[in-house]
Each structure stands twice: as structure tokens, then as C-alpha cells.
A and B are shown apart, each in its own frame.
Chain A
Amino acid sequence: MAALPKRIIKETERLAKEPVPGISAVPHEDNLRYFDVSIHGPQTSPYEGRDGTVKHTHVHLSNVHVGGIFKLELFLPDDYPMTPPKIRFLTKIYHPNIDKLGRICLDVLKSNWSPALQIRTILLSIQALLGAPNPDDPLAPDVAKRWKEDQEGAIATAKEWTRTHAMT
């Protein structure tokens, strides 16, 4: 593999030195373009992994997150940053913009990508997407449909899935 571009090195270093709360991305030792990513479900979202009615207390104090933790894989293609990173949920998630295979529907990962975006910003966007599902632009049509028709049921399922898959 060609030498790693400066940009990727810098991003990796920065992700390690100044981590974003609730997000971690660690490259594979044998392939520095391949990252193991984990994202904490955002607070007050169905993916936080708590009963929404329970008043939230600071969970980050101990730096141990007890809520839902979603695993993703991220790959930086050769022409990164001209093209966006390839990214996919490994943890099963019930979300109108994420399909069964974990693929994500997010504009910045597609048409709205800009080389000025980084791994960090992309992961924040994904985290934000968890907090604000957009059933109008669905990737998983059935989930989106239910979200629209029975939002509470859908959210309950999402919480259910989070507890089952993201909190083990």
C-alpha cells in the first residue's frame, strides 16, 4: 500500500489525542485506512439505551458509558479525501436511514461530501443522525413507514433493539 497521506495520519493522530466525546475510531494495525468505530447513542434518543422517562443523570462522569454503543466500520478509499469514507453500522439498529446491512443514508457521505470534511465530522454527523431520524428520506422503507405511522411504536422497537444489540 502506498504511503499513507499526511492527512490520514494527522486525522488518526488527532482522533487519538483529542477524542470526540461519545465517539471513538481506532485504525487496524494491519490496515491504517480501516477503522473500528464506536458511537454512543445520543442522549434522549431511542439509541441512548435507557428508558426515556428516566431523568438522565450524568453518565459520562466516570467515562464509562452504560448506554447503547454502536459499532461501525469505516474505510478510507484511495482517493480520500476526494471521495468520502465508506462507513457502515455493524451493530444492528432500528433506524429509518440505516438499512439491514448497516448502510447509512446521509448526504455528506454522498453528494454533499466535501474534502474539507473529516472522519471526526462524519462520525458526528452519524451520531446526529441517530438523534434525528429522517423518515422522509428513508433507506429502510419499512422502518420509515412505521416511524411515520406509529412513531411511538417505532421508537420503542428502536429502544428494544438498542438494548438487545447495542448494550451487550
Chain B
Amino acid sequence: MSFAESEGPPTKKRRFFTDKTDILDSSLGAEPSLPDEIDAFPTAAVVEPYEPNGFDLPNSGIIPGTGGPSNSEEPQLNDHIPGFDSETFESFVGDKVSPDALKQLREASGDNLEKAVNMYFDGSWKQNAAAVPVRSIGGGSAPKAMTINSFARSGTSGGHEANGTHEKAESPAIEVSLKDTMPEYRYVGAFGVGAWATRSGTTLLKHGESVRIERQKIQPPKAPVGKGKGRPAVTPLKPNSAAAKRVDVIVRFTNPNGEEVGRLPRETANWVSTLIDQKVCRFEGTCVYAPERVRTNDTIFLQLRCSLLRTAFDNRGFKPSENRKTGIFEEKESSEEKELRLRQVALVKLFEEVSLLPSKTSETTAKHKREGLLQAAEVAEQYENSKPKKSSSAENVGSSPSAEEAEDGKELEQDQLDTLYKKAQSFDFDAQAAEPAETFAMDLRHYQKQALHWMMSKEKDEKDESKEASMHPLWEEYAWPTRDMEDKDLPQFKDQANFYVNPYSGELSLKFPVQEQHCLGGILADEMGLGKTIEMMSLIHSHKSDVAMRLDGATPLPQSVNSLPRLPAASTNVERAPCTTLVVAPMSLLAQWQSEAENASKDGTLRSMVYYGNEKTANLQALCREANAASAPNVIITSYGVVLSEFNQVAARNGDRATHGGLFSLNYFRIILDEAHHIKNRMSKTAKACYELDAEHRWVLTGTPIVNRLEDLFSLVRFLRVEPWSNFSFWKTFITMPFESKDFMRALDVVQTVLEPLVLRRTKDMKTPTGEALVPLPPKSMDIVDIELSKPEREVYDHIFTRAKRTFTANVEAGTVLKAYTSIFAQILRLRQSCCHPILTRNQNLVADEEDAAELANTASGLADDMDLQSLIERFTAVTDDAADTNVFGAHVLAQIRDESDNECPICSEEPMIEQTVTGCWHSACKKCLLDYINHQTDKGELPRCISCREILNTHDIFEVVKDEGHPDTKWSLQRLGSNSSAKIGALMAHLKALRNEQAGTKSVVFSQFTSFLSLIEPALTRAAIPFLRLDGSMAQKARAAVLTEFAASKKGVVLLLSLRAGGVGLNLTMAKRVFMMDPWWSFAVEAQAIDRVHRMGQADEVKVYRFIVKESVEERMLKIQDRKKFIASSLGMMSDEEKKLQRIEDIKQLLS
């Protein structure tokens, strides 16, 4: 421990630092955030005299503002004020020091405060050792300093992090006391190493001589001269440095004379250098064997005695503000991440070398093999290396890691996802339940009350008292060795038999790492239909902020001064909104949230507000601030789009949230992200915007916390600000890397430990211990309705089919399938459309609601020029054109038809006729009977004749009788059969009419992925006098809400036409009892989701689902494809675009076979 002899003269350095003019002149010295730092020092008044020196940090080679934890030590490092203030000293060491000891210290240190502090801690003064300054590390004030630093940082970055520091402020007390007993460094073990000489000479080193192990850093070119070799302690520890100079791992050793003798072998130096650089360890060497005449490259055997530095235990706890230092609108991660990983590897190696085994590991950690960890880290390194490294010199500039982020994270295989979910679903059916507040107007099911209890305890951060404080699963416990390598007793310290290591991050701790989550929220991941919204509403009612409680207690006195609205002028910053819960939901769900909020609340107990579109003019800050709490909306509902656009606005104002007065100007009591998988991509702007929303309690609702990759979960965790997982480097090290190195189970185990305290997830098919379903849903039947295409339709279909097949085969032969993918896909699309309605394939304006729609319009022009197809379609339209106006029939004809309508069908004897249809000679029968008979005759090659009068029938002149029962006197009209209608529409109409006859007033939902098809269904509904509504992606939010309200309110058997896209997610359509799926989607999961809009909680009756599938067509084959599990995965976005294409080509092959 005598580094000082060979180092650059300290005086020189000190002189440099104390020279104030130097500082002023130095460009390095100017740091914009200085004032903040001064202000931020209130708790450390004693340090203030040395503040000016503190400013000199830059000159010591540390670039300002890089925020490395080691920064905090620097003030002491540079303290060099003549004189020795014992009070200051004591404040540094955090202990009372006896006057005797003080005297001794002063002598030993030559009145150098810095030295004295160090000596005090390393105990060297007691032995009256040579008066050497020890490595200049921080004393007991370090934790304090750290707080200060982070405080300062939060001050500079717009104050949005102010909350983070609240949480932290509590911890230092214990830490300080622990560290008091921790010596500056403490022996952990020793190991031997064969080093090599870098010079020749005789008796450079003898057996038993001690050897100094040191790191030499290449100084930045601009570094001030005169620092000498630079001692390890001064080695800049700016997080970036490790990354920037990763190649430099040289560890030299010098003999007692200070002459460099050699270096440690590379493989040892690799990690030893990290430990030294990051101030984790110190190494003292002893020469075991060295040849008398040393030649360069000779092997010299050393024994290295390793001690963990106290600094290693300082500072490196969870770093809340570090984690969030992403500034308001920017990201930086990579250097920190690398430092972490290096330390992790180094520590694991160290423990391996000194054969120190954990005395206690958590169950989870035990499973994870040490080697696996190293492997993971190495993989990480390769991974890093394989990526073109961005310039890391200036980390504030352009260091957004987005380039590599876009693709990180592999997809989970379905079975892995299943495993994960299974693990996350361990729901305790005996969990406590809570009763909602009285203002809550709905009845909760038992499991919903359990959710309420869980959520309330999460928000109140109630620890489960029954559970013992368990060790953080990622940590390992190690016992300090009691004897050193020579079997000598080592000094022991009170209450310090153990230390704790997190092998995943390389963190060290003296404190027992308790597993705790400071997140006052969580992930409510109940499966769709279990009532997440209701559960959340019950929480909003049942757990309110103190402010809100006070307000509730006091009988409303709106005239009281305090509750009068205040002027917004004073607002300068983010304000608390103690009574407001912000709900962010997809646009289509805004109205639903509002109505649920109203339904769930007794009158007047909840003010809700949709913050969207025109309503956005309100100044939210003024509305919701604490002063206006009495009138503030309790629930603000907004969309992801609004969040994003306001985020951009705030960003454009350089993060000035307050004056914007919008969503970002408040710190809400609670935020709820609905359908939170919207932010699954952490690099998406929406996700970033959501991260920046401030709230005391943060919740995400999603039925699928992990859609397909583990990173999906990260984004949620990041939003929730769950430490330490919200740090991406942390996440990457523990989860992404093991996962990518195929150590799935470990990664998933870790994920589970992350999820377990955060997630509540129940599924619909969960059974209570007594075997009852969690949510008894009424039954659902699903029928496939075979559709037979009419002849002209079939001709169109066959034509397109042949064409598509030809194109495909040609491309397969030419090997150009991928290239022609779009065109092939377009043809398949046309084929699918022709199953719905031939006109769809033709109409350029009605482009399919399908991903490649834009390209399709172009590629489909190949079909557009196709004259054969043209004529086929014309034939179809000729047959179906509604040329004759049906109202030309005289009243007497209608009267006669009306009289007959109650008669039985002459063919099937059904009474009354089903879909009464009349011939041109006005003879009636059921529609089906009549058509069957006509077909029967034509099949036999006969001319169809009337059933009654044997008149030859013009098949064009067959009319269906339409009764509009909506009116007081039923209106009668005739509708030419098949006019502009396809077989599918016909089938749909038949079902709807039958439904009307059997259960008038039953509402139905009709799904199609082609909005243009919906447009063709509309006139058919109109003609059949079936009332309908329509909701598709093109509609504005207001219009959608209106449609949903009308659909819910109507007493008639309304039909809701929904595009699969717009209606697949979130909507609650339980007022309908019938679902008609007009066309199959590639994966049934998407259809199932749509069906679940109707068949979900709240549905009181049996739901009947009809899927219309054209016989002997691609649709039938698509059903087969749906059965293939893998394809379900791909359609959910689990594959890359390229993989998707390949997969689709496989499918197309099957379709065209």
C-alpha cells in the first residue's frame, strides 16, 4: 500500500488545482450546471469551504457531467486546504475520533486532510507506517455526496426527476453505519499468476518482495502535463472511459523501487484492469518466484492478494436517478451498460480465481450457472462488437442507441411464451379481497375484489408481513474470509460477516439486499374480458390521495377560499394533480372508458373528462392542480396519439412542460395505460412519450404483457419505473443476453422474478379450487356456413385462381417468388375478395383494408387490364344489375302478394313462407324452395317454369318480398333477387332475416376485413330494411363513440358492420348476440379476438358465431392454414417481415395447391 512513492508529485498537482486563475482560464473548468451543484450541497455544509476545488473536477481528467458514481469522491480527492479541521475530518469519516488518534493522524498525514481520511480508513496510521497518502477515495460522506450529485443532476434536467430522490433519501443512514465498520479495503482471497517481464535485468525482483500492481492509463491528449504516470486512484472513472479504451487492459507491476518489471498476462489483466479501474478491488502482489536474471518475456510468478475496496460497496446501490437519467427526450445507455458488464465478468472471474463460493444464494440464482453468466456476458460483448460502434467520445451527442435497438430481442417461441404465462399465472385463489368504496356503483365479482385488494396494497406499498424479508433473487451472499492465504487470522468487523454480490451486475453490497419493489403500481394482465377496466375503476374509487380524502371528508364548500380556482399564471413547473387519474387508451376505447367510468360511479362521485380533439383546449394544469383539487376531473381519458403529439410539442419547447399546460404538466395521482402493448416497442416514440408522464402510481393494463419478445415486457417495466429493471442495460444483461445465448430457462426465470411481484394475471379458463370457472360466460357456438358461389361468381373466382396459380408456378420455377411476392400476394387477395363479392376485385377505389393495400392498387392493375376477367364480371353484373325499379309493380300486385304471404309454401308447406319470393307471374314460394326448383329444372336441362302457372320463368325476374317492420304499418316492397349481391351477402341476409323472424330485436355484429365489402353489404341491408350501423378505421373518434352508443341504445335488431381491424381490439359489444364473420383471416387468433368483443364478460346470452366460408375455395384452405400453430404466431407479428413473407409463400403454396 505504498503507491505514492512513484507517483507524480502530489504537490505539483495540488498546485495546479489550487491555482484559481488557471481554473478560470481553463475551458475545461466551465460547467454550466455549477450553480446547481452549489445549491445542491445544503446538507454538507462542512464541505463548502472546499467547493471551489470541487469545481476543478474537470481538470483531474474527469469530464464534467458524465455522472459516474465515482464523481462524488472527487471533492475529497482534491481537497487541499492547508490546515486540518478536525470537525471536517470527523464529518468525512462520519465518526467521532479521539483527540489522540486525531493527533496521530495529523502527524501521519502531514496535516493533509485527504491523506488523513484515507489513512483513518485503511488503518495504516495505527502502524505508524510511512506517511503515504493512500488511494484517494471518498470517506464516509460518499453516500451523501452521491445523493447530492443525483440531486444536482435532477436539477439540471428539468426537475422531472425530483420524485426519484424522495425515495432515495431514506437509505443512507444504515449505509453509513455499516460503512463505518468497513475498512477501506478488506481481504477476500489470493491467487497465483504467472506474469511476464517487460524488461531484462538482474535482481529486479526477489522472492517474497512485494510488488505493486498498477494500471497506467493513456491520458487524454489534452490532459494537463505533470500528472506523472497517473495513479490508479486518479484514473478517470468516467463511465465512458472503460468503453472508450476497452482495448487497454494492461496491468503492470513494479518492484519496491518503483521500477516497472512486467505485466500480468492478458487473460488475468482483462479482468484485473476492470476491477482496478472501477475501484472494486485492490491487488497487492508478492513475488513467489522470479529468475535472478530476468529477461524480457520471462515468467515471474506472483501471488496476488485481493481486497475489496470499500468504494466498491459505496455508490453502486440501485441508482434510481441514474436509471432515469435519460433526460427528458433523449437516451443514453451504452457506456454504462458496458461498464456494468465488464465489472460483472471481472467479479465472477475474481471469485472463481480466489475460490470464493457464495454462502447463500437464492433459489433462482442457484439455478443459474456461473459459467452461464460469463457466457452471457461474452455473448453480449460479441454482440456489442458486431455492431458498428458509434463514437462514444461525446456521449451526449447522437448516442441514441436506436440503430441497434430496432431489432434487438428475439421472438419467443409459442411454447416459451406459454411457459412464461403459466408461471406468471400462479394466482392465489385465497388471496385477500377488498370491498370497493361506497361510491363505486357496480358489483364486483370475487376475483375482482381480490384484484382490488392487490392493487391497493401495491399502491400503498404494504409489505406482506407474513413473509420474511427475502434476499433479492439476483444477489449472492459471501462470507468474508476469516483467514488469509497464509492462514493468518484476519481482522473481523462487527456485524460484517458477509458481503453480497450481484453476479449479474457486478454490484457489491454490505447490506442485506432485500427484495423489494418500490413501484407503487403494476401490471394488471387479466385476460381480455375479465373486467380490467372495472377493476381499475374500483381502484380509482377505493384508493384516493390524501388530498382527495380530505376533500371527500369535508362537505363540499365550493365557496371556501382554498377551493376557488386559482390563476394559472404562477405555474412554473410540473404540478401535482392529487385527485386525477390519467387513462391513456387507444382512440377507439376512449368513449368506452368514459361510459364505464360513468356507469361504475354513483351519481356525482366522479368527474371524468375525455382529453381529445376539441376538448384539448383546456389547460390541464390549471384544471387539475392541487389548489383546484375540489373541481379537478377525477379521470382524464386520452389517447396514445394525444400523448405522443403533446410529447412532441413539449420536446419542441425544450422540455418545458409547465407552460404547455397539457398532459405533461402534471404529476398525476395515478396513470393507467390501457392496452399497454401499444408501448411494447421501447424505441417507439409513443413508448418514450409515455415513460415521461409523471404519476405517483403507474399501472398498465394489457391482456398480453408479452406479445412476442421479452423486450415487450421491458417497455412496461420501464414505464412503471421498476428499479432496477427499468434500466435497459440491467435488463439486457440479465434477460436479453441469456435468452439470446439460448439459455431460455434462465432468462425466463429472471423474467418471472421480475413479473411476480408486478403482475396480476388471471385467465378466463382459470378454475377456482372448487372447480368453478372464474367467469361463467354463457355458451358460444361457432358454425361454419358453407357458401356456394353462384355460377357467374364461380367463373370470376376460377379465372383469378387460374391466373394466380399460373403466376405463382412461374415464379416458383424461376425462383423469383420473393421478388414477385407483392404481386402474388395481391392476386391472392383478389382471390379472397372474389369469394366475398366479384365487384371487390374490380373496384379500384375500394381498396382492401389490408396491409399492402397501397402496392396492391398498382399490382392489381395487372388484373385490371385483364379483358377476360372484365367480361366475366360484366356477366355477373348483368345478371345482378338492379335495372328495374321494383316499385313499378302495381298496388294490386303487392296486395295479392301480401294476401298470400301468410299462406304456406306450395313447395315445402312452410307456413308462412320463409323469405317469400315471387315469380314474374306473381306466384309465391319460399325463396329457397323456388330457387331450388329453378336449379332443379335447369340442371335437368329444362327451362324453368313457374310452380303454379307453368309459365316459363325469367330467372332475372324473381323478387323477394321485403317487409319493413320498423314502421307502424309494415311497408311492403319487392326486391329483385340477387341484385348486386353475392352468394355471401345472400347467406348473410338469409341469416339476418331468419334471426329477425325468430328473435326480433337481436343485435348482430358483422365483421369483414374488407371495408369495401362492408360497403356492399350496406345496400343489401337497406333493401331488406334491416337497420344497421357501421364502424371502421376511417371514422373519427366522435363518430365511433356515437355509433357505439347508438348500437347499445337501440331497441331494434341493429346490425353493426365492423372492420376486423377497427373492431378487433378492446371494444365491448356484449349487447350483440350474433357474430357473422364474413371472411377468414390468416390466423384465427385475430378472428377470435373479434368474436371476443361480443363473447366477453357482460354477455348474458348464448352467442352464436357464423363464419361464412366459400366451399372449394382459398377460404377453405385458409381454415386449414389457421390450424397450423406456427402461423398464428407469425400473424401476431412474431416474425420478421422476411420470415413472414417466406411463411406466407408456404401458405400461398397451400392455397393454390
Interface residues of A (CB under 8 A from B): 5-7, 10-11, 79, 81-83, 112, 114-116
Contacts and interface: CB of A to CB of B under 8 A. Distances in A.
Contact of A7 (B909, B932, B947, B950): B909
Given A6-B910, A81-B908, A114-B945, 13 more contacts: A6-B909, A7-B908, A10-B904, A82-B933, A83-B936, A114-B946, A115-B906, A115-B907, A115-B933, A116-B906, A116-B907, A116-B947, A116-B948
B909 A82 contact: no
B948 A5 contact: no
A116 B904 CA distance: 11
A37 B312 CA distance: 109
A115 B909 contact: no
What are the 8 A-B residue pairs with the smallest beta carbon separation, nearest first?
A116-B906, A7-B909, A116-B947, A115-B907, A10-B909, A82-B936, A114-B947, A7-B908
Interface in B905-934: 906-910, 925, 929, 932-933
6 contacts: A6-B908, A79-B936, A114-B946, A114-B947, A115-B929, A115-B933
Contacts of B932: 82
A111 to B, nearest CB: 8
A22 to B, nearest CB: 24
Contact of A81 (B907, B910, B945, B946): B907
B950 A112 contact: yes
Contacts of A112: 950
A115 B909 CA distance: 10
B250 to A, nearest CB: 92
Contacts of A116: 906-907, 925, 947-948
A6 B909 CA distance: 7
Nearest to A108: B950
A82 B908 CA distance: 10
Given A79-B936, A82-B936, A114 B948 contact: yes
A10 B948 CA distance: 19
Give the bracket for the number of chain B residues in contact with chain A: 10 to 19
Contacts of A11: 909
A81 B904 CA distance: 14
Contacts of B929: 115
A79 to B, nearest CB: 7
Interface string B880-912: 000000000000000000000000101111100
A4 to B, nearest CB: 12
Given A82-B933, A82-B936, A114 B950 contact: yes
A10 B905 CA distance: 12
Interface of B: 904, 906-910, 925, 929, 932-933, 936, 945-948, 950
A167 B948 CA distance: 37
A5 B936 CA distance: 18
B688 to A, nearest CB: 65
Most chain B CB inside 10 Å of its own CB: which residue of A11, A81, A116? A116
B933 A5 contact: no
Contacts of A83: 936
A60 B936 CA distance: 42
B393 to A, nearest CB: 85
A158 to B, nearest CB: 31
A53 B242 CA distance: 133
Contacts of B933: 82, 115
A94 to B, nearest CB: 31
Nearest to B946: A114
A100 B925 CA distance: 38
A7 B925 CA distance: 13
Nearest to B933: A115
A122 to B, nearest CB: 14
A82 B925 CA distance: 13
A133 B929 CA distance: 34
Contacts of B907: 7, 81, 115-116
A11 B905 CA distance: 12
A82 B950 CA distance: 14
Nearest to B906: A116
Contacts of B948: 114, 116
A15 to B, nearest CB: 13
A79 B908 CA distance: 11
A81 B945 CA distance: 15
A7 B945 CA distance: 21
A93 B846 CA distance: 70
A5 B904 CA distance: 14
A115 B946 CA distance: 10
A10 B906 CA distance: 11
Nearest to A79: B936
A27 to B, nearest CB: 16
Contacts of A7: 907-909
Contacts of B936: 79, 82-83
B249 to A, nearest CB: 87
A112 B946 CA distance: 11
A5 B908 contact: yes
A83 to B, nearest CB: 8
Contacts of A79: 936
Contacts of A5: 908
Contacts of B947: 114-116
Nearest to A8: B909
A13 to B, nearest CB: 10
Contacts of A81: 907-908
A112 to B, nearest CB: 7
Contacts of A10: 904, 909
Nearest to B932: A82
A10 B911 CA distance: 11
A72 B933 CA distance: 27
Contacts of B950: 112, 114
A5 B905 CA distance: 13
B1094 to A, nearest CB: 32
A7 B904 CA distance: 10
B1136 to A, nearest CB: 53
A59 B925 CA distance: 40
A81 B932 CA distance: 11
A5 B908 CA distance: 8
A10 B904 CA distance: 11
A55 B904 CA distance: 42
A81 B909 CA distance: 10
Nearest to A10: B909
A149 B1142 CA distance: 86
